[in-house]
A and B are shown apart, each in its own frame.
Chain A
Amino acid sequence: MHEIRLTVNGRAHELAVEARRTLADVLRHDLGYTGTHLGCEHGICGACTVLMDGAPVRACLVFGVQADGTEVRTVEGLADGEQLSDLQQAFSDHHALQCGFCTPGFLMLAEAYLAENGDAPLGEAEARELVAANLCRCTGYQGIVEAILATARARQKP
């Protein structure tokens, strides 16, 4: 067992984990952040995408021990209290989710992209390429692309 320390959505956690335990299982089952979902456990679907020190990672491909000393952000950290973030609200407005299982992964992926690219304009082709990193089985992706484009446009406004 290995002692690790990490912060999740600003809260410090300290726990002992097996070397083979994935970050996804640490978040979901040891720390109770069940908003991070496992769709394939082999790094393709992206439902488990979380931000580790600001960068999107697939929590099924990261071991808990690798997250030692990092700051992790999950879907539970997006809203401000009861207030949905602009990105979350855009997902609802554009019907970007149906079953909602893949949604946390898309939200974290897009949040990282938008944060990194700041004010740079986002085109439809780029948004589609970004969204193509993850899998959704319900929506056909159109709403997801539109929601991310709308959020990018709104964030560009001074």
Chain B
Amino acid sequence: MTAIGTRLPRQEDPRLLRGRGRFGDDVNVPGQLHARLVRSPSAHGQIRVLDVTEARKAPGVAAVVTAGDLPDHHVIPVRLAIAGTDLSAFLQPVLARDTVRYVGEPLAVVVGDDPYACEDAAELVEIDIADQPPVLDASGAFDHGNQPCIAAELTRGYGDTDAAFAAAAHVVRIELAIGRHSGVPLEPRCLLAVPGPDRGELAIFGMTKVPVWNRDLLADLLGVDETLIRVHAIDAGGGFGVRGEFYPEDFLIPWLAVKTGRPVKWAEDRTEHLMAVNHSRQQYHRVAAAFDAGGRILGLTDDIIQDNGAYCRTHGVAVPELTAAMLPGPYRVPAYRGRVRVVLTNKTPCGTYRAPGRFEGTAAREHLLDVAAGQLGIDPVALRERNLLTRAEMPHQRPISTLGTELILDTGDYPALLAAAVDEAGRLGYRAQADVAPGSPGISIGSGRRRGFGLAMFVEKSGLGPQETADVTVTRSGAVHVYSGGTSVGQGIETVLAQIAADALGADPGSVRVTAGDTAAQPFGSGSWASRSTVVGGSAVHQAATAVRGRAIELAARILEASEEDLDLTDGAVSVRGDPDPKRARLTLADIARAAAPASRYLRDGEPAGLSARRRFEVSHMTYPYGVHAAVVEVDTGTGRVRVLRYLVAYEVGRAINPMLVEGQLRGGVAQGIGGALFEEFRYDEAGQPQAITFIEYRLPTAAEIPPVDVLLRQDAPSPGNPLGVMGAGEGGINAVGAAVANAVRDALGLAGGVGQLPLTPARVCALVSAAGDAA
């Protein structure tokens, strides 16, 4: 039982370190064609001319298709439908037919023998679009005069907020805009579709995250039986929510393979990626809290506008719904109302990005609390302590649903984690470093530089159901093979599931092989997203491996003619408990697997052969990990540059299967969060032309911008909702970075109000400095 909780090196590492990983564009098959998408150069308009005649004549071109060549007017449906919303009028067609709605929208596809020749031919497609004025500012929906297209409206809440605000001793309001940014994995998307010998048969390389769902949708769109399509498990160069959703290309490339009868590969380039793949995060908050005289929260309201871009994609309105549902966070909030309007604009459509909806909502709530602390004259930590739900109040059900589940904060001791985080930040010298004034003797902080400390607390969600299925098989060599419905997107799922299976089987984790995300090997998978792989996928593996353990002991009892109760399975072998000569009656898992082979005399009539089990783990509620972030920043008031000097994440994960990997998830999340808080932004000009289409304009943070991240990993509150006691780790590193950095910058600049907008680019910081100077 030692495989869980150890810092095992990752099973994925050797192949990746040797350059033997198999990423999308590493897979090639004989006779393959290459595809190049032709995309709209205009943000909004009617297609007057879309002429592919010259492109079709270009050398090496096999086909050029537009919407007119499609068999049907296909649109991509919503995967995560929220009850009460009808988005059918706002779904994206796989190719634009009459109207284009964002720069980058697919118009045509060129396929040919060589990717260079396809790019040449794509240049020959003649496009003329009658431009119409683009809608670019969703915040116009706050004003009555400007009503852009609202795709959906929803509210989440409970209690009488009007009464709460009327009775309040203090009411604090801020506005906060969250910038448009996204996951931007380092590997662009890639898809290879290979027709098989039978009609309708297709092998797909490059789908991930939800391969079974994508397979089924593709089968429906192509009008074939889903088992003719096999999505293969390959490596993926980062997921972060954006990779693996069903995009227009996920229909177009397989359809072209069927149409041409040849394998078709599409390797996205970075500029395409930055215009085509789900953007995320862009929200406008008008958030307010009512307090009594003692600083206790009486009510909380938030008016949220989500700039969703041009269409509703597979997530529908799940992102802002999560914002509204999770906004009260870890606090005791007697009355709450979150109103969401989902506004369509002429920009790239939005979807989920790691901690979707929560990065935004945590920033709004936690920044509001810091502003409130200032106005009420209470220390920000004390204000939070006063309002946190206590251990005695757990589990805490809010009369709110999210993603179709009841919101029940399942377990935890929020005040204890906050206290531990404050102690840790103190022990590591955060406050001392933040409180340094410019020009202090012996301190290297220059004039014009100010430091600040910021803290934020949050509740995450993880382990979304409804199910995950796992098969565990012991082979005749004694190896254990796990077939999981989760997928590998770089998170280390193979290592974690191997540890879980090894623990249940009493086997060496090194003897466990994991196949994750192959739809033929595991046809009932629900995928890797929503911090569910370890929680839901891991629980399914635990159950299946436990069942195999039981079956191994059952068979061993027959072979040894012993009673099952007298047998023990440890170190990959069954032996009779207390036998003075354990070697005499010791059966390895390999021995037992062979005894379970077809025609074995140890099998009884009607029993299936093989030492294996399939189990389905079903769960109706999510589990809610929680954390505290703390940051020390230095602001250059002359240039507006913000540097993050120190960063701490304190996180309750229930139980860490592999603490090294959990810490890696948290550290990586912090880096991405710093990107969204300070650097990364998809900006558009007044014509709707995207201004961040290379890594020069879209500024991913480098090692120079990311400090070492201190991690305080706690395993004090095992989740009651699954047999492993685990909670998700994928999103706790990013959730509160916008909040903590905004609070630290506000502290550094001594602002009375909030920072107003993220990311805190140098220009915005300079504006805050100058506004603060004017006010002083």
- With A34-B19, A88-B18, A92-B10 already in contact, the answer to whether A140 and B706 are too (CB < 8 A) is yes
In the complex, the answer to whether B13 meets A97 with C-beta atoms within 8 Å is: yes
B490, CB-defined interface residue at 8 Å: yes
Q: B residues within 8 A CB of A21?
A: 116
**A118 lies within 8 A of chain B by Cβ:** no
CA distance A36 to B9 in the complex (A): 23
Cβ-based interface call for B255 (8 A): no
Tell me the bound Cα distance from A79 to B25 in angstroms.
23
CB distance from A157 to the nearest CB of B (A): 22
Q: A29: which B residues are within 8 A, CB to CB?
A: 28
How many Å lie between the Cα of A75 and that of B18 in the bound state?
Answer: 6
Bound-complex Cα distance A100 to B709 (A):
20
B396 interface contact, C-beta 8 A: no
The answer to whether A99 and B116 have CB atoms under 8 Å apart is: no
**CB-nearest residue of chain A to B711:** A142
Is A103 in the interface zone, CB < 8 Å from B?
Answer: yes
Chain A residue nearest in CB terms to B184: A137
Residues 414-428 of chain B: 1 if any A CB is under 8 Å from the residue's CB, otherwise 0?
000000000000000
Q: Is the CB of A76 within 8 A of B668?
A: no
* Pick from B239, B489, B708: contact of A142, CB under 8 Å: B708
**CB–CB A137/B672 < 8 A:** yes
Distance between Cα atoms of A28 and B185 in the complex (Å): 20
Cβ contacts under 8 Å, A154 to chain B? none
* Chain A residues closer than 8 Å to B672, beta-carbon distance: 137
Given A98-B668, A132-B704, A141-B671, verify A45-B18 contact (CB < 8 Å).
no
Q: Which residue of B lies closest to A97 (CB)?
A: B16
Known: A39-B270, A141-B671. A101 touches B237 (CB 8 A): yes
**Complex Cα spacing A67 to B85, Å:** 57
Query: CB distance A20 to B116 under 8 Å?
Result: yes
Complex: how many Å from CA A37 to CA B19? 9
Q: Is the CB of B703 within 8 A of A145?
A: yes
Assuming A47-B186, A95-B661, A98-B668, is B16 touching A103 (CB within 8 A)?
Answer: yes
* Chain A residues, Cβ within 8 Å of B696: 42, 44
> Restricting to B330-366, which residues have a CB under 8 Å from any CB of A?
none
Q: Are A140 and B667 in contact (CB under 8 A)?
A: yes
A54 within 8 A of B: no
Residue among B10, B235, B237, B661 having the largest count of chain A Cβ atoms under 10 Å: B237
Report yes or no: A42 in contact with B671, Cβ–Cβ below 8 A: no
Q: Residue B18 contacts which of A20, A84, A98, A139 (CB distance < 8 angstroms)?
A: A84
Known: A39-B270, A41-B269. A95 touches B185 (CB 8 A): no
Q: Give the complex CA separation of A41 and B696 in angstroms.
A: 12
Does A116 belong to the interface (CB within 8 Å)?
no
Q: Does A107 contact B (CB under 8 A)?
A: yes
CA distance A38 to B491 in the complex (A): 20
Tell me which residues across on chain A come within 8 A of B709, comparing CB atoms. 140, 142
Interface bits B696-708 vs A (CB < 8 Å: 1, else 0): 1000101110101
Q: Hey, what's the 0/1 contact readout for B645-688 against A, CB within 8 Å counting as 1?
A: 00000000000000011011001111110000000000000000
Bound CA–CA A128/B643 (angstroms): 15
User: Which B residues are CB-close (under 8 A) to A97?
Assistant: 13, 16-17
Q: Assess whether A101 is in contact with B23, with CB atoms less than 8 Å apart.
A: yes
Option from B18, B489, B695 in Cβ contact (under 8 Å) with A79? B18
User: Given the complex, which residues of B lie within 8 Å of A129, measured CB to CB?
Assistant: 703-704
Restricting to B6-40, which residues have a CB under 8 Å from any CB of A?
9-10, 12-14, 16-21, 23, 25-26, 28
CA distance A29 to B702 in the complex (A): 29
Contact call B238/A42, Cβ cutoff below 8 A: no
Give the 4 A-B residue pairs with the shortest CB-CB distance, closest first: A35-B19, A99-B490, A100-B16, A101-B237
Closest A residue, CB atoms, query B13:
A92
Q: Which residues of B contact A20 (CB under 8 A)?
A: 116
Contact A144–B703 (Cβ < 8 Å): yes
Looking at B664, B672, B696, which has the most chain A CB atoms within 10 Å of its CB?
Answer: B664
Taken together as a complex, chains A and B put the C-alpha atoms of A136 and B186 apart, in Å, by 7
* Contact present for A37 and B18 (CB under 8 Å): no
Q: Give min CB distance, A125 to chain B, whole Å.
A: 10
Decide if A151 is an interface residue (CB 8 Å cutoff): no
Assess whether B188 is interfacial by the CB under 8 Å rule.
yes
User: Is there a chain B Cβ closer than 8 Å to A102's Cβ?
Assistant: yes
A137–B240 CB distance below 8 A: yes
Asked if A62 is at the interface (CB within 8 A of a chain B CB), the reply is no
Q: Least Cβ distance of B664 to chain A in Å?
A: 5
Checking B9, B17, B19, B186 against A99 with a beta-carbon cut-off of 8 angstroms, the contacting residue is B186
> Taking A44-B696, A97-B17, A103-B17 as contacts, is the C-beta distance between A135 and B702 under 8 angstroms?
yes
B136 at the interface (CB under 8 A from A): no
Flag whether B187 is at the interface (Cβ < 8 A): yes
A39 with B187: CB separation less than 8 A:
yes
| Cβ A100 vs Cβ B18 within 8 A | no
Closest residue of B by beta carbon distance from A84: B17
**Given A28-B25, A98-B490, A145-B703, 20 extra CB contacts under 8 A:** A29-B28, A35-B18, A35-B19, A36-B19, A37-B186, A38-B25, A42-B696, A75-B18, A79-B17, A79-B18, A95-B663, A100-B21, A100-B235, A101-B187, A101-B235, A134-B702, A137-B183, A137-B238, A138-B186, A138-B664
- Say yes or no for B328: interface residue by CB 8 A criterion: no
Binary interface encoding of chain B residues 116-140 relative to chain A, with 1 for a CB under 8 A from any of its CBs, else 0: 1000000000000000000000000
Is B236 interfacial (CB-CB < 8 Å)? yes
Return chain B residues, CB-CB under 8 Å to A45. Answer: 186, 270, 695, 700
- Collect the chain A residues with CB atoms within 8 Å of residue B240's CB: 137
Contact between chains at B235 and A139 (CB < 8 Å): no
Give the chain A neighbours of B492 by CB distance below 8 A.
98
A118 CB to closest chain B CB, in angstroms?
23
Closest Cβ of chain A to B290, distance in Å, is 38
Separation of A21 and B625 alpha carbons in the complex (Å): 50
Q: How far is the CB of B310 from chain A (nearest CB, A)?
A: 25
Interface string of A32-70 (1 = CB under 8 A from B): 011111111110110100000000000000000000000
Which of A39, A74, A76 counts the most B-chain CB atoms under 10 A from its CB? A39
A16-35 contacts to B, CB under 8 A, are 18, 20-21, 28-29, 33-35
B694 proximal to A (CB < 8 A): yes
Distance, CA A139 to CA B10, complexed state (A)? 14
The complex places the Cα of A88 from the Cα of B489 at a distance, in Å, of: 21
Residues of B within 8 A of A36 (CB): 19
State in angstroms the CA–CA spacing of A140 and B675 once bound together. Answer: 11
| Nearest chain B residue, comparing its CB with the CB of A134 | B702
Q: Are B664 and A143 in contact (CB under 8 A)?
A: yes
Bound: A137/B704 CA distance, A: 14
Question: By the criterion CB–CB under 8 Å, are B25 and A139 in contact?
Answer: no
Contacts of A28 in B (CB 8 A): 25-26
Interface residues of A in 112-158 (CB under 8 A from B): 128-129, 131-145
Complex Cα gap A133–B694 (Å):
16
- A45-B695, A74-B19 as given contacts; A139 in contact with B13, CB under 8 Å: no
A3 part of interface (Cβ distance < 8 Å)? no
Residue of A nearest to B489 (CB): A99
Docked CA distance A140–B705 (Å): 10
Q: Among A75, A102, A133, A137, find the residue whose CB has the most chain B CB atoms closer than 10 A.
A: A137
From B18, B25, B28, name the one whose CB has the most chain A CB atoms within 10 angstroms: B18
Q: Which of B269-310 contact A (CB under 8 A)?
A: 269-270
Q: How far is the CA of A44 from the CA of B12 in the complex (A)?
A: 26
Contacts of B703 in A (CB 8 A): 128-129, 131-132, 141, 144-145
Across the interface, name the chain B residue whose C-beta is closest to A146.
B708
CB-CB under 8 A for A140 and B270, given A100-B12, A103-B17: no
Chain A residues closer than 8 Å to B491, beta-carbon distance? 98
Interface centre among A79, A99, A128, A142 (most CB of B within 10 A): A99
Contact check, A40 vs B694: say whether CB atoms are below 8 A apart.
yes
* Interchain CA distance A103-B18 in the complex, whole Å: 9
**What chain B residues lie within 8 Å of A40 (beta carbons)?**
270, 694-695
B184: A residues at CB distance < 8 A: 137
Can you name the residue of chain A whose Cβ is closest to the Cβ of B658? A95
User: Is the beta-carbon distance between B664 and A95 smaller than 8 angstroms?
Assistant: yes
Other-chain residue from B26, B186, B664 in contact with A135 (beta carbon distance below 8 A): B186
